[in-house]
Structure 1
Amino acid sequence: MKAVVIGAGLGGLLSAARLSKAGYQVEVFERLPITGGRFTNLNYKGFQLSSGAFHILPHGPSGPLAQLLREVGADVKIVRSEQTTMRVPLKKGDPDYGKGFKDVSFNDFSTLLSHKDRLKIAFLIASTRRNHPTGSTLQAWIRTQFKDEWLVKFADSFCGWSLSLKSDEVPVGEVFEIIENMYRFGGPGVPIGGCKGVIDALECVIATNGGKIHIESEVSKILVENGKAAGIIVGNEVYEANLIISNVGHAATACLCGEALSGERYSGYLRMLETLRPSAGIKICLAADEPLVGHSGVLLTPYAKRVNGIDEVTQVDPKLAPPGKHLTMSHQQVAPENVRNLEAEIELGLQDLKEIFPGKKYEVLLIQSYHDNWPVNRTASGTDPGNETPISELYVVGDGAKGRGGIEVEGVALGVAATMKKVLG
């Protein structure tokens, strides 16, 4: 059986590794001169910056991505982060009240609420684990239950960091699926070697099983015969296939199918594609001689103007920076109305970092923005249309077709796993 994979990003390589291990003849076609897409390393001034996703797996060594890596035999070491914290204003009774901030464990977020709200949130967490709320956004649901604006700030910071969305853009059901996965799999972890450590290991699996990866090879058309995917065209070459996995999102995949998706039969699918929108964000990479965060987990920043969260992966893997240096990266969600004014958004992010790390010395290494055709996610979380297409034997994986409740790359892994279950049984 012959399988073609379009795109050598994380979803494409995970699919290719799994199919090659199952005995498929696999060929991967990537238009860029590198593999990994928005999940690899960029060597810059001796620092291993990430091309997109941070060097963090949201559920660490027990999450969906780690499980799939083990299933295909990819040799990746993942170290669990010791904690996740939030930077919040000092409270009455704290030394220097009114003059600064303190870090609170993510698991202790309810301590910042009133006694009454703490009891209420404990009850809601227990009851909603059985019956997840639906029918509204997370923010709207919070406002029906609580009057404390701290929870909205907390929700915005968490959703901004994990999904590049504000809490009023995320379906409440999706967030509760995420919370359930946090109970199930635990918190974040860092893959040794960063994103590229994962990509290199997947390439090794594919090569070992006889698969091929072609870079600088852009697919111009998906061939469809009698409603079934039959192959692709790359340049002047035709590659026949029994199965096609696309890692370029539903909209781009539909464009590659061209006239094969015309007609009333496919009109509903095409209308659905028009409703999809990407999520946007900005990453600011910092170099410092001394730790800025001080731990290997995520520092959430609910009181910042723009920055949602920060990580410092050199706490786990010092080789991601030159000797004696630390690599710290911040992320901020960019609202759709602000995508055309990125300079102002970047300036607000830089100002946030000065206030988050007062008196700390650091160098801004690189500022990266993700939007339009190079977004954080091709489809905003909670609106993913699934992995199937109207064309038989044509599936979509990646950040445009994540599994429910999957934070970023964990969602990619959930989508790939679901697709492989359909294909391989």
Structure 2
Amino acid sequence: MRVLVIGSGLGGLLSAAWLSRAGHEVDVFERLPITGGRFTNIDYKGFKLSTGALHMIPHGPAGPLGTLLKDVGANVKIVRADPMAMIRVPKEQNSADYTHGFHDITFHDFRKLFSPLNRIKLAILITTTRILPPKNGSMAQWCSRNLKGDWALRIADSFCGWALSLKAEDVPATEVFEIIENMYRYSGSGIPVGGCKAVIDALTDVIISNGGKIHISTEVTHITIENKKAVGIVADGKEYHGRIVISDIGHLETSRLYDVNALAIDAERYLASIRTLRPSAGVKICLSSNEPLIGHAGVLLTPYARRVNGINEVTNIDPSLAPSGKHLTMAHQCVQWEKLGKLQEEIDLGLTDLSEIFAGREYEVLLVQSYSGEWPVNRSSSGTDLTNRTPIEGLYIVGDGAKGKGGIEVDGIALGVRNAMNDILNSGKESID
């Protein structure tokens, strides 16, 4: 069958690679002059900076993205980060910031910060919650109900801010515990050698080698629907016909490409739900240094910073992402929806955090990147993702607007793509499981 893919972000290319490898005729349409969207590299002062993601795959080679890349035949080397994560805490236990010094503990040792009684309580809570996750409420509410003191909320905010670009109060507790379950299932993060672009280039090679086509600088302006079924698209004024249309631009943006009057009468609930979706927003600050600033390739969570949620330093695994003798360090912070109108203030607070976290160290701020609106961190904030299906037969959504349950960032995208591919291919009695 012929498949038309709108957008060449990670979700679109994963879908195109799988379907082209399965023998289907695939065309990918990208309005930008490059492929990869928010998951590729840009060259800047000799550094390979990412357009969005932090050159990191949350669950490494054994996670949803790592295994899907293997399934489609994409040649990508992913090196597991060790340690998985560290947590930077103040030396003075009652301190609320890093101004009086700090030390790092492993992610698995954060329980040591609790009293002996709370350690026992936390172990019981984590075990029982894995078996019976909370039915409602945010992660912040779960922390307030079950644990005393502000440490648990700080670590939840730091983790959610780093992994999801959300505060703990904005993430359902069920989603966080599904993510934790996936951490037990797949383990920790890994770095793709060559950065995000290495993944994109490998997927592009798979698509083209299997006869697929990628049309860059080509904008899709309309999805053609006949009898409530997607039958094609219009790109740069030219009509293309296909049996399946896959969109990598999210539910809301996709809905703007077709006539909603062509939908079934009962699709009003779907249209109402996509109008309420809120993209998550964030800021990334890229640093250059001559010496390592954190000294490992795992995540450094910073729960006592004003805004920065976490930091990674990928050149400890892949030196090619920076000029010879240099290191690339990237800090990420979520931006709450009500703060978007004061974005420069949020950036300034993040820069102040870094000046304290790396006090006495020499570094240069290379670039500050912000992600919101039509270029967000995630088109659907985690915990609010809709399914990959739409009310239109033959039209599917993939990417960060339709992640799989419990999926962090690009691994969530891979989970969503696998769900969509199974849905599509099951009709032809094929499965990617």
**TM-score normalised per structure 2:** 0.96
CA deviation vs aligned residue, 1:355-413 (integer Å, no higher than 9, x gap): 11110000000000000010000010000011000000110000000000000000000
Structure 1 gap segments, 5+ residues each:
none
Identity %: 58
Map 1:355-374; keep pairs closer than 5 Å. 355-374=356-375
What residue is the counterpart of 2:429 in the other structure?
A: none
Counterpart Cα distance in 1 of 2:93 and 2:198? 46
The 3-state SS of whatever aligns with 1:134 is coil
What residue is the counterpart of 2:26 in the other structure?
A: 26
Counterpart Cα distance in 1 of 2:93 and 2:254? 56
What residue is the counterpart of 2:409 in the other structure?
A: 408
What residue is the counterpart of 1:72 in the other structure?
A: 72
Counterpart Cα distance in 1 of 2:304 and 2:159? 12
What residue is the counterpart of 2:35 in the other structure?
A: 35
What residue is the counterpart of 2:148 in the other structure?
A: 147
Counterpart Cα distance in 1 of 2:264 and 2:421? 29
CA deviation vs aligned residue, 1:265-286 (integer Å, no higher than 9, x gap): 3211111111101010000000
Quote the offset at 1:258 in angstroms: 2.1
What residue is the counterpart of 1:44 in the other structure?
A: 44
What residue is the counterpart of 1:171 in the other structure?
A: 172
Count of aligned residue pairs for this structure pair? 422
Query: Is 2:283–2:368's contact at 8 Å kept on the other side of the alignment?
Result: yes
Counterpart Cα distance in 2 of 1:186 and 1:337? 34
What residue is the counterpart of 1:5 in the other structure?
A: 5
The 3-state SS of whatever aligns with 1:168 is helix
Counterpart Cα distance in 2 of 1:98 and 1:378? 36
Query: Is 2:403–2:412's contact at 8 Å kept on the other side of the alignment?
Result: yes
Counterpart Cα distance in 2 of 1:275 and 1:56? 30
What residue is the counterpart of 2:334 in the other structure?
A: 333
The 3-state SS of whatever aligns with 2:168 is coil
Runs (4 or more) in structure 1 with deviation over 6 Å come to none
Counterpart Cα distance in 1 of 2:4 and 2:275? 26
The 3-state SS of whatever aligns with 1:295 is coil
Query: Is 2:263–2:391's contact at 8 Å kept on the other side of the alignment?
Result: no
Structure 2 gap segments, 5+ residues each:
427-433
| Aligned amino acid, residue 79 of structure 1 | V
Query: Is 1:81–1:187's contact at 8 Å kept on the other side of the alignment?
Result: yes
Map 1:60-209; keep pairs closer than 5 Å. 60-83=60-83, 84-91=85-92, 99-209=100-210
What residue is the counterpart of 2:294 in the other structure?
A: 293
What residue is the counterpart of 2:418 in the other structure?
A: 417
The 3-state SS of whatever aligns with 1:376 is coil
| Aligned amino acid, residue 324 of structure 1 | G
Quote the offset at 1:148 in angstroms: 1.8
| Aligned amino acid, residue 279 of structure 1 | S
The 3-state SS of whatever aligns with 2:28 is strand
Counterpart Cα distance in 2 of 1:236 and 1:384? 32
Counterpart Cα distance in 1 of 2:33 and 2:99? 52
Query: Is 1:61–1:189's contact at 8 Å kept on the other side of the alignment?
Result: yes
Query: Is 1:379–1:400's contact at 8 Å kept on the other side of the alignment?
Result: yes
The 3-state SS of whatever aligns with 1:229 is strand
Counterpart Cα distance in 2 of 1:98 and 1:238? 61
Counterpart Cα distance in 1 of 2:144 and 2:219? 48
Query: Is 1:90–1:99's contact at 8 Å kept on the other side of the alignment?
Result: yes
Map 1:294-313; keep pairs closer than 5 Å. 294-313=295-314
| Aligned amino acid, residue 413 of structure 1 | A
Map 1:263-302; keep pairs closer than 5 Å. 264-302=265-303
| Aligned amino acid, residue 332 of structure 2 | H
What residue is the counterpart of 1:247 in the other structure?
A: 248
What residue is the counterpart of 2:430 in the other structure?
A: none
Query: Is 1:282–1:346's contact at 8 Å kept on the other side of the alignment?
Result: yes
Query: Is 2:279–2:380's contact at 8 Å kept on the other side of the alignment?
Result: yes
| Aligned amino acid, residue 411 of structure 1 | G
CA deviation vs aligned residue, 1:171-201 (integer Å, no higher than 9, x gap): 0000000000000000000000000000000
Counterpart Cα distance in 1 of 2:360 and 2:304? 18
Per mean C-alpha deviation after superposition, the further-off stretch among 196-205 and 118-127 is 118-127
CA deviation vs aligned residue, 1:91-135 (integer Å, no higher than 9, x gap): 569xxx993100010111111111111001111111111111121
| Aligned amino acid, residue 72 of structure 2 | V
**TM-score normalised per structure 1:** 0.98
Query: Is 1:59–1:410's contact at 8 Å kept on the other side of the alignment?
Result: yes
* Distance of aligned partners of 1:92 and 1:152 in 2 relative to their CA distance in 1, 3 Å threshold: closer
Map 1:218-229; keep pairs closer than 5 Å. 218-229=219-230
Counterpart Cα distance in 2 of 1:236 and 1:133? 50
| Aligned amino acid, residue 143 of structure 2 | I
The 3-state SS of whatever aligns with 2:110 is helix
| Aligned amino acid, residue 58 of structure 1 | P
Query: Is 2:61–2:78's contact at 8 Å kept on the other side of the alignment?
Result: yes
